[in-house]
Structure 1
Amino acid sequence: MDLYNTDAGRLDKFIFDHLQPDRVFLIDVGKAINLICNFLKENCFKDAAPPPPRVLKVVKGGSSGKGTALKGGSDADLVVFLSIFKEYRDQELHRKEIIQEIQRRLEEFKNKNHQNINVLFEDNKWPSPRVLSFTLYSRDFENSIEFDVLPAFDALGQVKCIKPSPQVYIDLISSSSSRGGEFSPCFTELQRDFIIDRPTKLKSLIRLLKHWYKEYVCVRYKSLPPKYALELLAVYAWEQGSRETDFNMAEGFRTVLWLIQQYKRLCIFWTTFYDLQNETLKQYLRGQLRKTRPVILDPADPTGLLGQGSRWDLLAREAAECLSQKCCTNNYSVHHWDVPVEVKMEEEQSYCTIL
C-alpha cells in the first residue's frame, strides 16, 4: 500500500483497493453516528437546570458527512445546535460548560445503559475548548469511530436556502474580531453541502490527497495547513481544469500538488454562499483578499482563512517529492491541468481567483 511506488495509471485502482471504505465500515459509522445523535437529542440535557438547553438539530460534518471518509478511519464531526445560544458570542461564552455536560452524560450513558460500548476521551488542555473529542468502541462494530462534538449557535436557522442572508455574515464579522474561523461550526451544513454533491471521482481525489497528507506529510512535519485546505484545492483544480466526471486521476492529483507549490501566489474564494453585492461584505472581503498569500477562504465562512500562519513551505516540499515519484511520472508524461493561480479582478486591482 505504498502510494509512491504505485503506477500513475493505476491510481484509481489504488484508491478503490486501499482507500475506499467498505460496506461494513460505512454501516458501522452510520450506527455509531445514530447512537451518538440520539444520545445528544434525547439523553444529554434532560435533567439540566431550567431553562434546559434544547437541541435544535445535530448536523453530521467531517469526512463522514461529506462522503470522503478513508478506509479504516472516519472523523465524524457532529455539530450540536442549541437553543440557549442566541448569538455567536453565546457560543463562545458557554461552550465549555456545554462540553463538560456532554462528557459527563456520556460517561453515565456508557456505564449505565450500554455495557457493550466504551468511550475514550481525548485530553483537552485549552481553557475554553471548542470541541469534545472521543473514540467510540463497541462489540457491535468492527471499527472504532472517532468523534468531534462541537456546540454551536444556529446562525442559519431551520430554513434551508442556497445563499444565507448577508446579515448572517455581517453579524459574524462583527463578532469575530481577529479570530477568523472561530465560529465556523455554525456553517457546517454549508461546508458539507459544498462537497457532498460533487462527482464521485472528485471525492476519490480528495481521499487520495488526505491519504498522502496523513501518510507522507504529517509523519514528518508539524504546524501544517489543515486537510480542509487540500479539499478546497482539489475542488478548485477540478472546477478550473477539468469539470469532467471521469477525469485522469494522476493529472488531477498532480494539479493539486502543483498548486501547493504555488502557495505564495494563491488567492482563492467562492461566491456560492456570500458575494460582493452587499457593501459591508464587499469591504470586508477586499481586506481578506489583500492579506499575505496564500489566501484560501472557507466558502461557507468568509472569516476563515485556511492555513494562515501554517508551514506551507513544508507541505510544498513534500509535494515536490511526490511529483518525482512513480505515482506522478511512471511510464508516461503526466501533466497538470492548466489552472490559473491568479486572476485579475478589475474592480479590486489585485489578484484573486473568483469562482
Structure 2
Amino acid sequence: MAVSLELFDTPASRLNSFVAQCQPNIKEWKEDVVKAVRSVEKFLKEQHFQGDHGLDQKALKVIQVGSFGNGTVLRNHAEVELVMFLSGFSSFQEEASNHNHHKHVLSMLCEKLTDCPDLLHLQPQNLRLVHGVTSAVPFTIQTWEMEQQVTVTIVPAYRILGPSVPNFQPSPEVYARLIKARHTLGHFSPSFSELQRNFVKYKPTKLKSLLRLVKHWYLEYVKAKCPRAELPPMYALELLTIYAWQTGTEEKERFRPIILDPADPTYNVATGYRWAIVAQRARHCLKQSCCYDNNETCIPNWKLKVNPYESIQKLKEKIQCKLESSAPQRLSFQEPGGERQVLGNISSLADYSIFSDAHISLLQIVSPEMQVFLKNPSGGSHAYAIYSSSLVLDLKCQIEVREGLLRKKQQLEFQSQVLQDEWSLRFCGV
C-alpha cells in the first residue's frame, strides 16, 4: 500500500503514523527480498576472479549495508547494497596499487551475472559499471513473489577488519596504516562498511524512525526535485541526523559541512556536495504542516528580549530577522484557562497585560508557489516555481541545478535593480 498522505500535508502530531506507513511490511515484503538477495550473495561467494599478474581472488565475505542492512529501509525505495570482501590483498598500499583490479573484477562480474543460470529467476536487468571514488555494479532484480523491483549494488572491498561485533573498535594501527596509504579520500570506505552499518543499526528505534522520515523527505523533496545536482550521499544525511538527535540543534554561524565517518575518521563524507540545495529544501520543509502541531505552534522555540511597550509590528520584524524569512505572521497569546487572543500590529504587549516572560504562538502564513520567468542574455526564458518569501539565493540554486551555471557567476536583475542573495523575492517586489 502506498503512503496515503503527503509529508507536507501531515501535522506534526501524526508523523509517527506517517513513518509507520513508510516502513515496509516485514512479513509480506522483507522475507521475499531477503530470499532473493541471499541468492545473489551465494552466487558471489562461489565466484573466482582471475586478474592481472596472476592475481586470483574470491569473495571472503558478503554483507548487506546501507538502508537495508541497518534497518531503515523505506517502502517503495527498495535498495540493497552488498559489499564483497575480496582475498588477495594484505595491506592498504597493495590494494591501492592494484585499484584497477577492482574495476576488472566488476567487469567480469557484469558478464557472469548476465550468464548465470542460477539467477535467471531474479531477472537481473539494467546492469552497468559505475566509476567513482569507489566503483560498483548496480542492477535490478524481481521475482513473481516480489511486488516491485529491487535495486542491488555490489561494491568490492579489501577486508582489513576481522570479525565484527556491535561495539567493535579497530586498532589505532589500522588508521595509521590507512593514512600512510595516501590514497583518494573515501577510496577505502567500503572496507569499513560493516562498522558504518553497525553505527546506525544498533541505534534506538525512535531514532531509526527519525532516520526514515529524513530519508523520505530527502528522496521525495530534495533528490526528486534536483535530479541532476551532485547531492550528498544518504550516509552523510544519516550521520547529520544522528548528530542532531544526540546533541541538539543549536544554531551555528558559518557552518561548514564537515561530517567525519565514525568508521573511517580520515574521510569527510560531506565534502564536495551541494549542501546549499539541501538547506534550501529544508527551509521550505520548515514552513509545511509537518513542522507544526495541532495548535499551529511551530515545533522550534526560541527566546526574544523585547520592550513590552513596543508595537507588535516591531516584534514581528525581530522574528523575521531571527527566521531569515519575510513571510506574513500571525501572533497569538493565551492565558491559562483563557481564550486565545490574536495580537494586533499597532498594539503592544503591554496592551494585553504582558509584562513578564510569556509564551507567544507564531503562525507563518505561507503563500503558494508562484511562477518566475527568467530571461537569459541569449533571449530565451525559463519558468521557476518558487515562493515569494524565498531568498534570491534560493532562486539562484534552482538556476544552477537546471542550467549548470554556478550561482556565484549569476547576476539577477529586476526593474533595473541588481538583486542581492540575502533579499527575499517579496522584498524585491517580485
Report the TM-score when normalising by structure 1.
Answer: 0.75
SS at match of 1:304: coil
Structure 2 Cα separation of the partners of residues 337 and 203 of structure 1? 24
| Structure of greater Rg | 2
1:73 is matched with which residue: 73, 77, 81?
Answer: 77
Structure 2 Cα separation of the partners of residues 162 and 126 of structure 1? 31
Shift of 1:74: 2.3
Q: Is the 8 A contact 2:185 2:266 kept in 1?
A: yes
SS at match of 2:123: strand
SS at match of 2:236: helix
Task: Determine the structure 1 residue equivalent to 2:333.
Answer: none
Instruction: Report the identity percentage.
Output: 38
Q: Give runs of aligned pairs for residues 183-332 of structure 1, distance below 5 A.
A: 183-221=188-226, 222-241=229-248, 264-265=254-255, 293-332=256-295
Structure 1 Cα separation of the partners of residues 72 and 85 of structure 2? 23
Change (3 A) 1:129 1:327: closer
Shift of 1:8: 0.9
Task: Determine the structure 2 residue equivalent to 1:9.
Answer: 13
Provide, for residues 309-337 of structure 1, a one-character-per-residue CA deviation record: whole Å limited to 9, x for no partner: 22211111111111011000243324349
Q: Is the 8 A contact 1:25 1:72 kept in 2?
A: no
SS at match of 2:125: strand
2:23 is matched with which residue: 20, 24, 31?
Answer: 20
Query: Which runs of 5 or more residues in structure 2 are unaligned?
Result: 303-430
Change (3 A) 1:310 1:215: same
1:82 is the counterpart of 2:82: no
Q: Is the 8 A contact 2:231 2:273 kept in 1?
A: yes
Structure 2 Cα separation of the partners of residues 33 and 173 of structure 1? 34
Provide, for residues 127-165 of structure 1, a one-character-per-residue CA deviation record: whole Å limited to 9, x for no partner: 896111111122232232111111110111246572111
Task: Determine the structure 2 residue equivalent to 1:335.
Answer: 299
Shift of 1:172: 1.2
Change (3 A) 1:127 1:157: same
Q: Is the 8 A contact 2:68 2:80 kept in 1?
A: yes
Provide, for residues 209-254 of structure 1, a one-character-per-residue CA deviation record: whole Å limited to 9, x for no partner: 111011111122212222212111221122224xxxxxxxxxxxxx
Shift of 1:203: 0.8
Structure 1 Cα separation of the partners of residues 118 and 301 of structure 2? 54
Task: Determine the structure 1 residue equivalent to 2:348.
Answer: none
2:125 is matched with which residue: 98, 106, 120?
Answer: 120
Aligned AA for 2:113?
L
Shift of 1:51: 6.1
Alignment RMSD (CA, Å): 2.5
Structure 2 Cα separation of the partners of residues 166 and 129 of structure 1? 24
Change (3 A) 1:169 1:337: farther
Q: Is the 8 A contact 2:63 2:83 kept in 1?
A: yes
Q: Is the 8 A contact 1:6 1:326 kept in 2?
A: yes
Q: Give runs of aligned pairs for residues 123-142 of structure 1, distance below 5 A.
A: 123-124=128-129, 126=131, 130-142=135-147
Change (3 A) 1:51 1:124: closer
Structure 2 Cα separation of the partners of residues 159 and 322 of structure 1? 38
Provide, for residues 285-342 of structure 1, a one-character-per-residue CA deviation record: whole Å limited to 9, x for no partner: xxxxxxxx2211011111221221222111111111110110002433243499xxxx
Q: Is the 8 A contact 2:130 2:136 kept in 1?
A: no
Q: Is the 8 A contact 2:106 2:129 kept in 1?
A: no
2:172 is matched with which residue: 161, 166, 171?
Answer: 166
Task: Determine the structure 2 residue equivalent to 1:103.
Answer: 110
Aligned residue-pair number: 289
Change (3 A) 1:188 1:337: farther
Task: Determine the structure 2 residue equivalent to 1:275.
Answer: none
Q: Is the 8 A contact 1:116 1:140 kept in 2?
A: no
Aligned AA for 1:322?
C
Change (3 A) 1:320 1:29: same
Task: Determine the structure 2 residue equivalent to 1:31.
Answer: 35
Does 1 or 2 have the higher relative contact order (CA < 8 Å, sep 6+)?
1
Structure 2 Cα separation of the partners of residues 239 and 184 of structure 1? 24
Q: Is the 8 A contact 2:130 2:137 kept in 1?
A: no
Shift of 1:54: 2.6
Report the TM-score when normalising by structure 2.
Answer: 0.62
Change (3 A) 1:197 1:127: closer
SS at match of 1:224: coil
Provide, for residues 243-267 of structure 1, a one-character-per-residue CA deviation record: whole Å limited to 9, x for no partner: xxxxxxxxxxxx5xx87xx5842xx
**Greater helix content:** 1
Change (3 A) 1:204 1:232: same
Query: Which runs of 5 or more residues in structure 1 are unaligned?
Result: 242-254, 266-292, 339-355
Q: Give runs of aligned pairs for residues 137-156 of structure 1, distance below 5 A.
A: 137-156=142-161
Task: Determine the structure 1 residue equivalent to 2:316.
Answer: none
Structure 2 Cα separation of the partners of residues 208 and 8 of structure 1? 12
